[in-house]
Amino acid sequence: MTVKTVLLALVVVVLLAPGLSARLEQADVAGYPGLGPRGTLLWLDDMESGINGWTTVDETAIATTHFHVDTYMAYDTNHWWCGNFAFDTNGGYGNTWIDLLVIPPTDMSAAYYPVLTFVHYYDSEPDYDFTYVDVKIATVFVAQNAGYNGQIAGGTWVDLGAYGFVLSGADNPIEARFRFVSDGAYSDEDGNYDSLGGAYMVDNVKLFDFYGGAVYFLDDVESGGLCTPAVPASAGDYWHQITRMCPAFSDPTSWWCGDDADTSLIPPNLSNSLISPPVDISGLTRASACTLFFALHAEVPTVDNDYYTEWVSVDGGTTWHQTGAYWGDFGQCDGWASHGFAGVDLTLLLPGTFFQFKLTFNTTDNGCGPGTAGGAGIMLDDTWLEETEIAVERTSWGAIKSFYR
């Protein structure tokens, strides 16, 4: 089990024994052993009465690219940059980015030894956030590198010169791209990784014949750029309610982000959000102790950096606060493991207007299987908000509360 420390100012996790089947009643949450005395119930949904105002969003359908032409930290006036100044003054990038910079299809059938070269700079979280060089081979994009990550050696631009990526096995016309992928935590966005000019900068992108010297494509970005920024195609919205006696927490209904056509495989390339209805909390102050509880059940493969994130808002969804980022399924790919309760202390976010909760599932281009106990993916069941005399683990605020599984 690999542990990745994540600074989460809000999250507290309290896991109950797998198989616990107590039902949550509308007027009484004391039926859940181990949670102790309860306070005032502000909102509850055991998922047994329909959609009830929950909404789903395919985040890939509304994604925008971060690659753009810029002069910051330039190699030669203009360059392509996957980054911005949204998070700090020295430039950086955010969590859960998937960005493409596409080289136009280029006929290199006359080239004896086709090569792709470029000049680049990068700074992204070591071992977790990567920039890949993809080339289409047998109609499928294939990564030609292990992924650029960390800060480039010497902290300065590097010119690959004539010794770049050999494309002799690629389809023709040549189709190639740069692809940056960041995970759910540790970037300039949350302040846990402070990059200098991250995530990726590239200039002088060239396709040429190593032996003959003929240049078939050159983008020096000085006239606005010849490559095309893009994002992956929409992956689809897989959040939906299911009625299966197992493994719902309170049978039979729960929300599931998975594939009915193949319950053993998590769908690829997802960024799917499930968002609760707004709950009026305008009467709460910081003198109150406000806690969100929810039952979560997950089977997320550890082998491919798939993960889910938890978010809360106290202003009706205008501002979201990330309260958890979790990878894997406790080290196993064929069984449910994260079956229990999560509690999020909202007290220090008060006062607020309308509370909402969001659960986002992110997958890469591979799945996992075969699954058991109902199928691969993540499930959400009984969820409620309550006002109590004592907040959940109040001393955890601002502490390191992390799990990288």
CA distances from 31 to 143, 169, 248, 289, 381 (A): 52, 63, 17, 20, 15
Question: Could you tell me the CA-to-CA distances from 398 to 325, 327, 355, 401 in Å, in that order?
Answer: 15, 21, 21, 9
- pTM, two decimals, is 0.74
Q: Among all chains, which residue has been given the structure tokens 């075969």?
A: 370
- The whole-angstrom separation of Cα 245 and Cα 215 is 63
- pLDDT score of 205: 97
Q: What's the length of the chain?
A: 405
Beta-carbon contacts of 267 under 8 Å, excluding residues fewer than 6 positions away, are: 235, 236, 238, 258, 259, 363, 367
- For 2, 6, 182, 362, the CA distances from 305, given in Å and listed in that order, are 11, 15, 10, 9
Q: Where in the chain is the domain with CATH 2.60.120.200?
A: 11-60+236-396
64-230 belongs to CATH 2.60.120: yes
pLDDT score recorded for residue 327: 66
- Map tokens 């994009």 to a residue: 141
Given a contact cutoff of 8 angstroms between Cβ atoms, the answer to whether 371 and 294 are in contact is: no
- Summarised one tens digit per residue, pLDDT across range 191-205 is 999 999 999 999 999
pLDDT value of residue 216: 97
CATH number of 11-60+236-396: 2.60.120.200
Question: What does the pLDDT read at residue 393?
Answer: 44
- Low-confidence stretches of the chain (pLDDT beneath 50): 1-37, 330-339, 367, 369-374, 393-405
Q: How far is CA 251 from the centre of its chain?
A: 29
pLDDT at 249: 67
Both tokens of residue 361?
A: 């599932």
Element (H, E) at 286: none
